Each structure stands twice: as C-alpha cells, then as structure tokens.
Chains A and B, each alone.
Chain A
Amino acid sequence: MNNKFIRNLYMVPYAVWVLIFVVAPILLLLYYSFFDIHGEFSLINYQRFFTPVYLKLTISSFWYAFIITAISLLVSYPTAYFLSKTKHKQLWLLLIIVPSWVNLLLKAYAFIGIFGAYGAANYILEWIGIGSRQLLFTDFSFVFVAVYNFIPFMILPIFNAINGLNPALIDASHDLGASRRTTFRRVIFPLTLEGVKIGCQVVFIPALSLFMLTRLIAGNRVITLGTAIEQHFLVTQDWGMGSTIAVFLILIMFIIIRITGFRKRGA
C-alpha cells in the first residue's frame, strides 16, 4: 500500500458502503432473477413476467401511479403558486411540510378511522344528504390517501421553481400586452416545468411501488408492482420472481429518471 492510500484511509467506509449496499444489492437482484422457485437456473421468471397476469399487474400499477401523479399535480401546482404569493411564504411552506414529517403509518391508521363505516367521512356524507357509503377498501380511498401522502413532495419542487422565477419576466410579459392567462401559459408554466418534472418523478416512482397503503387502505384490492415484490419475497418465498419484478421496476425507474432528469428531491 502506498502513502497516498494511507492518507485517503478516511474514504474506506464510504467506498465499502457503495460496494456492499449499492452495487451488490442490484447485482444480487439481477442474479436471483435467473433462478426459479426450486433454486435452479432458468429464464422462467422472465417468461412469466410477459404472461397476461404480470402484464396486467404492470399496466394497472402504471395506471394507478399515473392517476396519483396527475391528481397530485392538479392539487400541488395551484397550492405552490398561491403559496409563493403569500406574505409569509416560508411559514406557510413549513405548515405544509410539517404533516409529512409525521409517520405515514400513523396517518394511514387515522384514515382507517376517518373512512371507516362509522367514521368522519361517512358522517359528513350522511349530513349533506348523500348517505353513508363503503369508503374504506375502495379505489377512491386508496388514491385519496396516496395523493394525500405525496402532495408535500410535489409542492416543494414546484414552489422552489416558482419562487425562483425572475419577476421582471412577468412584468415584461404584461408590458408587452399579454393577458394574465397568456402570461401563465407562455411564461410562468414553461419556466417552472423543471419543478413539475421533479415533482412528477418523486411521486411517480414511489407510487408504482406502494405496498403498505394497498394493504391497509385498499384492502388488497389494488396490487402494484411493490405489492407483488413484497408478496413474492415475504409470503410465497419465490425470491426469483420477486427479483425479476424488481429488475423491471429498476429499469422503469432509470427510464423515468432519464426522461425527467435527476435532481435531488425537493431541491
């Protein structure tokens, strides 16, 4: 060992971490994806992935992730926009972020109470005359809670993008005769697209792999790629198939990041 290495000894733990906890896990998933449930080398898992069962699962997973991302964006953009115009915007932003620091399990647990047969949501429905409904274990409650969970992470990057806009550009647009709508469509929105992209990225990828909410709120009615992985690893013990789905999920993740460009979350 040379002197330079000894001088740089401090980097060893970090380099070891990269190898063991970043590189090795991905390679292990790839390796295991080539073994069937009896531990024999085969391509059966990849064949199985392209059967209707798994393709349908992938499509429905994409569909839910798409709906969740779209609704989150619809709620978050105006929120971020109005937020940037308030007087104490940092304080308002903090107010929006605080709930996201509370453990998701606890909030999911609260929603079980709220959406339950005798919960607050049904009480309100009854009160306004619609009558009580089965809310828990439906697509509605699943999408609602997922959106609830993700909007703070969508609001943050969009808020930062809007907040970083140069106000002179908006003044210039008004001076040149653009209406408020045109200014928004042609100036504000395109310039904040970067924030929207990051927001979509940080919502879409986790939404593809939600598994705890599908169990607690959707009552196993919704199955995502994440639920399938969890099922294969912890219930049926078919690590090979679980790994194959994980490999596809990683591929999808890289494609999405390629399209939207990696930025650190909330930056």
Chain B
Amino acid sequence: MQAKTSPAAKIFLTIVIFVLYAPIIYLVIYSFNSGGSMSSFEGFTLDWYKELLGDTRLLIIVLNTLVIALLSALFATIIGTFGAIWIYHLKRSKSTIIGLNNVLMVSPDVIIGASFLILFTIAGIRLGFYSVLLSHIAFCIPIVVLMVLPKLIEMNPTLIDAARDLGATRIGVFTKVIIPYITPGIFAGFFMALTYSLDDFAVTFFVTGNGFSTLSVEIYSMARQGISLHINALSTILFFFTLILVGIYYLISQRGGIKLGGLRR
C-alpha cells in the first residue's frame, strides 16, 4: 500500500488532526488568559496556575485520582497476569473464561457502574475510596489479561519443556522463563490500566459517595456550574502529563513488539 499521498489526502488528514487537537489547544491557550472566560483572550497571565496551586481541595482530588490509578493498576496487573497464566494453562472452557473476561471490556460504562452500585450496596461496602478502588481494579483486570495473554500464546512452549528438562522447578520456570518473557505485556497492561483508571468517569460517578471524588467527577460537576479557567490550567498540566505517559507507552510497545494504540474505550 505504499503510494504517494495526494495533496487532497494531505489536506484531509491535516483537517482531521487539527479538529482532534482543537479543543486541547483551546484549553491550553485560555489557561493563560487574564480575562475570566473562554470567549475573549485579553492578556497573558499565570494567575490560574497560581490559583490552582492554592486550591488544596482540588490538589487533594488530583492526589486521590493518582493514588486510585496507581493502586488499581498495580492490583489489576498482579491479578490479571496470574489470570492470564491460568487461562493459558486451561485445557477446557478456555473460550468461556476469555468471553467472561471480555464482558467488562465491551459493556457500556453505565451498566458497569450501575451493577457495581448494586453490588456494593448489597455487600454493605460504603461508597467512597474503597468502592472506587475496587471497581477500578475490577475494570482494569480484563485489559491486563488482554495484554498479557497474546505474549504467553506467542511464547514457544518448548522453552518451558527445555527449562524442565534442565531441572528447573515449577517456581523456577515461572520466575526465570515465563515472567521475563511476558514482561513487556505486563508493563503495557499496567500502563493501559493506569490510563483507563485516570480517564474513567462513568463508573466512578456511580460508585463514588458524597465525601470522595476523582478528577473526572469533579470536572463534571464544575463544568455543569460554568466555566472557570483554573480547570484550563489543570488540563494543560494534565495534557503534558498524558504526553509523557504516551511516550512511555510508545517506548514499551516499540520494545515489546506490542501493537500501537492498544485498547481504549
């Protein structure tokens, strides 16, 4: 499919990319606006960043969001990796388990959120930090499995046989052969889970109580009240943070031979 790109094609691509970036650029530009709205640019200022740094409540919410993301990605990676290894060794009902694993991948967020809300209420878990953490772990696990499983399948089974023949124990095979081989998949799964958790709004919205909030939920309620430019300042910082994450993910996927883009909602 290697042919020259026509000028029309180039213009089309440029327009698509421009539209994709327009809202982000818009947010970044207005984060420096000394006027108080997103409609007219009056002058350059860093006031919104200063205000942001002084907003302890919002900073705590950012911290909450990061803690939830890191913890849920960590737990999901551990459980998901073991799950993938289990699925890999399964002889029967493999496709059933994979099917169940994928249910949370294709389900609309609203359904996941609503059903988890029922679940936590019945189990008597108070809505707040733990309910949010548990649901984030829950919806991150299938992503990790989907990132690790292909690596396992791609692994040559004779590697394990050879290790056994050479006298490796079960644990030896696991730590010295399987884990090193699937490490790129594990890292990719971890980063995917991290961004999934950072991004999630709908599920969190259902299972978060009154006292606890993550950034998405907070921005939702702020946006409903009207525009405040310190959200722009926050988004600018988050955008550059995202760029760093994409960079890390890109490096992992390049080294580990994992297809770019992966799985996003």
- Pick the contact of B106: A23, A26, A118, A257 (CB < 8 A): A257
- Complex contact A101–B246 (CB within 8 A): yes
Main secondary structure of the interface of B (DSSP, over half): helix
- Complex contact A209–B106 (CB within 8 A): no
B63: Cβ under 8 A from any A Cβ: no
- Residue of B13, B102, B108, B222 most packed against chain A (CB within 10 A): B108
Q: Inside 8 A of B153's CB, which chain A residues have their CB?
A: none
Query: Which B211-265 residues have a C-beta within 8 angstroms of A?
Result: 215-216, 219-220, 222-224, 227, 231, 235, 238-239, 242-243, 245-246, 250, 259-265
Query: Which A1-58 residues have a C-beta within 8 angstroms of B?
Result: 7-8, 10-11, 13-15, 17-18, 20-26, 28-29, 32
A230: Cβ under 8 A from any B Cβ: yes
- Complex contact B17–A95 (CB within 8 A): yes
Q: Inside 8 A of A92's CB, which chain B residues have their CB?
A: 13, 17
Residue of A with least CB distance to B21 = A99
**A-B pairs under 8 A by CB, number:** 265
- Complex contact B115–A29 (CB within 8 A): yes
CA distance A90 to B260 in the complex (A): 8
B166: Cβ under 8 A from any A Cβ: no
Query: Which A117-176 residues have a C-beta within 8 angstroms of B?
Result: 117-120, 148, 151-153, 156, 160, 162-163, 165, 167, 170
CA distance A105 to B201 in the complex (A): 8
- Pick the contact of A109: B79, B223, B261, B262 (CB < 8 A): B223
- Complex contact A97–B223 (CB within 8 A): no
Main secondary structure of the interface of A (DSSP, over half): helix
A70: Cβ under 8 A from any B Cβ: no
Q: Inside 8 A of B162's CB, which chain A residues have their CB?
A: none
B198: Cβ under 8 A from any A Cβ: yes
- Known A-B contacts A13-B79, A99-B21, A109-B231; the reply to A212 vs B201 at CB < 8 A is yes
CA distance A66 to B134 in the complex (A): 34
B64: Cβ under 8 A from any A Cβ: no
- Complex contact A265–B263 (CB within 8 A): yes
- Complex contact A212–B115 (CB within 8 A): no
A-contact bits for B197-218, CB 8 A (1 contact / 0 none): 0110110011000000001100
CA distance A119 to B38 in the complex (A): 7
- Known A-B contacts A113-B39, A246-B111; the reply to A94 vs B79 at CB < 8 A is no
B2: Cβ under 8 A from any A Cβ: yes
How close is A213's CB to chain B, nearest CB, in angstroms? 10
A205: Cβ under 8 A from any B Cβ: yes
CA distance A97 to B192 in the complex (A): 14
- Complex contact A229–B261 (CB within 8 A): no
B117: Cβ under 8 A from any A Cβ: yes
Interface stretch, picked from B49-57, B80-88, B180-188, is B80-88
B-contact bits for A169-201, CB 8 A (1 contact / 0 none): 010000000000000000000000000000001
- Complex contact B198–A230 (CB within 8 A): no
Q: Inside 8 A of A259's CB, which chain B residues have their CB?
A: none
Residue of B with least CB distance to A224 = B110
- Complex contact A110–B261 (CB within 8 A): no
CA distance A102 to B246 in the complex (A): 10
A233: Cβ under 8 A from any B Cβ: yes
CA distance A82 to B26 in the complex (A): 27
How close is B79's CB to chain A, nearest CB, in angstroms? 5
B155: Cβ under 8 A from any A Cβ: no
Query: Which B107-135 residues have a C-beta within 8 angstroms of A?
Result: 107-119, 122
- Complex contact A209–B109 (CB within 8 A): yes
A102-B238, A113-B39 are known; give 12 further A-B pairs, CB within 8 A. Answer: A14-B145, A25-B112, A82-B13, A103-B219, A105-B201, A106-B231, A109-B235, A112-B227, A230-B205, A234-B205, A262-B102, A265-B263
The 8 residue pairs across chains A and B that have the minimum distance between CB atoms: A14-B83, A113-B38, A25-B115, A110-B23, A209-B108, A118-B39, A11-B86, A82-B9
A-B contact pairs, 28 of them (CB 8 A): A18-B97, A29-B114, A82-B9, A84-B1, A101-B195, A104-B199, A106-B238, A109-B235, A110-B38, A113-B227, A114-B38, A116-B227, A152-B264, A160-B259, A206-B108, A211-B110, A212-B202, A212-B205, A216-B220, A216-B223, A216-B224, A225-B110, A230-B114, A249-B110, A249-B111, A253-B108, A262-B99, A265-B264
Chain A residues near B (Cβ < 8 Å) = 7-8, 10-11, 13-15, 17-18, 20-26, 28-29, 32, 75, 78-79, 82-87, 90, 92-114, 116-120, 148, 151-153, 156, 160, 162-163, 165, 167, 170, 201, 205-206, 208-209, 211-212, 215-216, 225-226, 229-230, 233-234, 239, 242-243, 246, 249-250, 253, 257, 262, 264-267
